[in-house]
Amino acid sequence: MNSPGTLVDPSARLLELTTLVESRLAESLPGETAWPATIHRAARYSLLAGGKRIRPLLALAGAEAVSGGLEEALPLALAVELIHTYSLIHDDLPAMDNDDLRRGKPTSHKVFGEAVAILAGDALLTRAFHLLADVPAHADEALLRRRCRAMALLGEAAGTTGLIGGQVEDLESEHRRIAPEALERLHRAKTGALLRAAVLGGAILGGATEPQLGGLARYAAAIGLAFQVVDDVLDATEGAEQLGKTAGKDQAAEKSTYVSVHGLERSRQLAHELLAEALQALGPLGEPGELLRTLARRIVERRA
């Protein structure tokens, strides 16, 4: 693993970090035969189904941006991916978005049934906090304080004014038009809050100062919104094969999206404006912020 600041191709480094994340995710849950086997098989099925691992990479890049260590940030990097995966499992349920396909595979309830899918989501959410609470025996006061702060941030991001609140609003916005401000609030909660917790939580565990956190918060707000704008553009323009999930479903559910509210061209332009804003916020961090810059570009330029 290269140390921060080493001049390495950011793409090669992200690949290296993705491999690290994959291997630690596989270790973050009990094995498939651990009692009770059903729940561990179901939780691992969804968690280890691939995915871009954007949130863990943001957490590790957040720590690196403030010259913090990867190991310090890893519990948070895993926790945000566990929480992201739990939210996908629950959102895909028949009572919610009723989706059959996720990351190119049948959704959890299609494979394990609804009851186990609900419990697998619950298990991933619970395990996320457990990972962060499980401090090393030799933890000093600074580490304990950072863990508590990262957990509180994650609790807020995953809670009713974040992820859960956004999903409730999203369900309630079906089959009706909502105002542009309400749409932005919805997406800041549903998508932005967890991305923000990834960046800031990683930076907190990496020992960020308050001014550093201020800049990272501006970065996170911009990429959080950009992420959702690009999601809406892709949902309107790409097929299911490309996305690994049902395509065109926003339109089918008559959901308000950036595309339906602002049109396709303005949405694409908006994504690039937000990218510029994100890069600008990283200015004071200099070279250690390079991974975050690369991730911001990926979020805006991705095709799936």
Q: Interacting stretch for its own copies, rule CB under 8 A, among 4-12, 51-59, 61-69, 133-141?
A: 133-141
Beta bridge partners of 105: 102
Tokens at 113, concatenated: 């049934």
Q: How far is the CB of 169 from its own copies (least distance, A)?
A: 5
Q: Which of 48, 49, 93, 261 binds its own copies (CB under 8 A)?
A: 93
Q: Which of 125, 203, 285, 291 binds its own copies (CB under 8 A)?
A: 125
> To 10 degrees, what angle do helices 163-172 and 193-205 make?
170
For the chain, what's the residue count? 304
Task: State how far the Cα of 91 lies from the Cα of 87, in Å rounded to an integer.
Answer: 6
Comparison of 1 and 35: residue with beta carbon closer to its own copies: 35
Cα within 13 Å of Cα(43), Cβ side: 29
Comparison of 140 and 241: residue with beta carbon closer to its own copies: 140
# residues contacting its own copies (CB under 8 A) = 58
DSSP string, 68-129: --HHHHHHHHHHHHHHHHHHHHHHTSTTTT--SEETTEE-HHHHH-HHHHHHHHHHHHHHHH
246 SS3 class: coil
Task: State how far the Cα of 303 lies from the Cα of 160, in Å rounded to an integer.
Answer: 30
> Under a CB-based contact definition with an 8 Å cutoff, are residues 199 and 62 in contact?
yes
Comparison of 1 and 137: residue with beta carbon closer to its own copies: 137
Cα within 13 Å of Cα(202), Cβ side: 34
Q: Which of 101, 135, 234, 236 binds its own copies (CB under 8 A)?
A: 135
Task: State how far the Cα of 195 lies from the Cα of 56, in Å rounded to an integer.
Answer: 9
- Please, which of residues 184-203 interact with its own copies by CB under 8 A? 185
DSSP state of 101: E
Q: Which of 22, 156, 184, 277 binds its own copies (CB under 8 A)?
A: 156
Using the rule CB under 8 A, is 26 a contact of its own copies?
no
Q: How far is the CB of 122 from its own copies (least distance, A)?
A: 6
Using the rule CB under 8 A, is 264 a contact of its own copies?
no
Using the rule CB under 8 A, is 179 a contact of its own copies?
no
Tokens at 118, concatenated: 């609900």
Side chain identity at residue 294, one-letter code? T
- Please, which of residues 33-92 interact with its own copies by CB under 8 A? 34-36, 38-40, 43, 86, 90
Using the rule CB under 8 A, is 8 a contact of its own copies?
no
Q: How far is the CB of 223 from its own copies (least distance, A)?
A: 23
> Would you tell me which residues interact with its own copies (CB under 8 A)?
29-30, 34-36, 38-40, 43, 86, 90, 93, 95-96, 113-116, 118-119, 121-123, 125-127, 129-135, 139-141, 144-145, 147-149, 151-152, 154-156, 158-161, 164-165, 167-169, 171-172, 185
